[in-house]
Amino acid sequence: MSSPSSLEKTRLLLLSIFFSPLVIFVDADNFINDIDVNWGSPNVRFLEEGNLLTLSLDKNSGSGFQSKNEYLFVKIDIQIKLVPENSAGTVTTFYLSSLGQNHDEIDLEFLGNLSGNPYTLHTNVYAQGKGNREQQFKLWFDPTKNFHKYSVIWNPQNIIFLVDNIPIRELRNKEYIGVPFPNKQAMRVYSSIWNADDWATMGGRVKIDWTKAPFTASYRNFNADGCVWSSATLSSTCASMVTTSAVSGNQWQIQQLNTVSSRRWLKWVQKYHMIYNYCSDYRRFPQGLPPECNH
């Protein structure tokens, strides 16, 4: 895979200046108020009065949290500093998911590595229990040195994945050609760190070095701007998704990658940093690529 040109590097530098991952969101939610620990509570720590949270993995257990609210469409932002140095065999996740066999899910999984190797960001989308829509990327920075912002925009038109405000993936709603899209089940936000050394690093060939434990990921500036779902009334706080959302300040409800700048950045990431795309895997789909890949 070729390296970015000097022009592309300059563009990335300019974007990092204007959209610094170190910016503090004044309206960020507080972890104490907005999440529940759902796994491995001894390995979860609330710091800085709930504005910072850490998840750890040791030989006894991993750990995780979930949002108190469920959402039927949402824009999620969170800043994460991943496990430093030798994190081989570990997986740190940040995702949305409903419950049940035919669940919907929007995944970001950070696959650990030996010290000095780039992290792999694994993405996938499930609709009605069916996934198999993976794309993987090598991040263009060291995600263990500083906090970086990871975002998901989920609205009726599409799902957009962003890293430091740079779009890395777009999945459009293509129900019109019979492709399921997650738009009927409410989802919570989840995050976890766990032992996946049977597959996470070099196909499972590199195992966890437990002498390096505990493995700790840090989180801050969690912000959920979404349509909160009520199981009691079977309705959300968003009455409708119409163009007036842009006027009311909820642009994410109708946001798409339809500007020259956003399309350029998406193309840049996918050209230089994508390492796997299911829509290019003819060996995996010998009878033909999934229909959304050709539309």
pLDDT of residue 166: 97
Q: How confident is the model at residue 101 (pLDDT cuts 50, 70, 90)?
A: confident
Q: What is the per-residue pLDDT across 275-291, written as a single tens digit (0 to 9) for each?
A: 999 999 999 999 999 99
Q: How does the average pLDDT of the chain come out, rounded?
A: 88
Assess whether pLDDT exceeds 50 at residue 196.
yes
pLDDT of residue 295: 77
Assess whether pLDDT exceeds 90 at residue 227.
yes
pLDDT of residue 241: 56
Half-sphere exposure in the Cβ direction for 190 (13 Å, CA)? 21
Q: Are 166 and 15 in contact (CB under 8 A)?
A: yes
Distance of CA 192 to the CA centre of its chain: 12
The residues that are catalytic are 105, 109
pLDDT of residue 118: 83
pLDDT of residue 249: 61
- The crossing angle, in degrees rounded to 10, of helices 6-18 and 260-272 is 120
For residues 219-231, average pLDDT = 95
Alpha helices in the chain (DSSP H): 6-18, 31-34, 244-247, 260-272
Q: What is the per-residue pLDDT across 1-53, written as a single tens digit (0 to 9) for each?
A: 444 555 554 455 444 433 333 333 334 678 999 999 999 999 999 999 999 99
